Amino acid sequence: MNSDYRIEEQDKIEILEEKDVVVCRQACRNWAKRMNFNLIDQTRITTAVSELARNIQEYAGQGEVQIQIVEKDMRRGLRIIFIDHGPGIKNIKLAMSEGWTSHRGMGMGLPGAKRLMDEFALESEAGKGTTVTTCKWLPL
Ligand SMILES: Nc1ncnc2c1ncn2[C@@H]1O[C@H](COP(=O)(O)OP(=O)(O)OP(=O)(O)O)[C@@H](O)[C@H]1O
Ligand SMILES: [Mg+2]
């Protein structure tokens, strides 16, 4: 399924503690800047990254974020993949609905990130972990 994405460049950031969420957000902002995303898109990307990296930290304790410059069908994009081997999500449909939280959150992280990015795919299995694959394309 990923074979049609050509990866031009990539990096990886480990999320081990709370401060890594900030490190990750900053790193993604720098990549977005370097790719010439406009300020609004930079903010969309960094907001989504904050939420998804924070979910790793909050629910799985640790994980990693892969940052890739990709090309597909003549378009360039920033693909960001959030991977953890934490408890996973039992009911993905519920987790994706606005306002639903298993803890004391606002329940806006996942649905918000989906709205902010162009592509969003959540794969999760209870007891195994969670992978969220997102992508933002540069305008044509
Ligand atoms: N990486 C993850 N591993 C396990 N469960 C997760 C993960 N990410 C999200 N969840 C589950 O999905 C629910 C919804 O996540 P979402 O980020 O939308 O809201 P929240 O984290 O509860 O609140 P906030 O608005 O503060 O982010 C969480 O309450 C949690 O139960
Ligand atoms: Mg959250």
| Inter-residue contact 82 to 56 (CB < 8 Å) | yes
**Ligand 2 mean position, distance from CA 74 (Å):** 33
pLDDT of residue 76: 97
**From 47, 51, 102, 116, mutation site for ligand 1 pocket: most ligand atoms within 8 A of C-beta:** 102
Ligand showing the shortest atom-to-Cα distance for residue 99 = 1
Kindly list the strands in the beta sheet with 6-15, ordered across the sheet, starting from the edge strand earlier in the chain: 6-15, 63-72, 75-84, 129-137, 119-125
Whole-structure pTM value: 0.96
Domains annotated for the chain, with CATH where assigned, are 6-137 (3.30.565.10)
**From 15, 18, 55, 116, mutation site for ligand 1 pocket: most ligand atoms within 8 A of C-beta:** 55
Determine which helix (DSSP H) or strand (DSSP E) holds 15, and give its type and residue range: strand 6-15
**Ligand 2 mean position, distance from CA 102 (Å):** 10
Local confidence pLDDT in tens for the 140 residues of the chain? 556 899 999 999 999 999 999 999 999 999 999 999 999 999 999 999 999 999 999 999 999 999 999 999 999 999 999 999 999 999 999 999 999 999 889 999 999 999 999 999 999 999 999 999 999 999 98
pLDDT of residue 140: 87
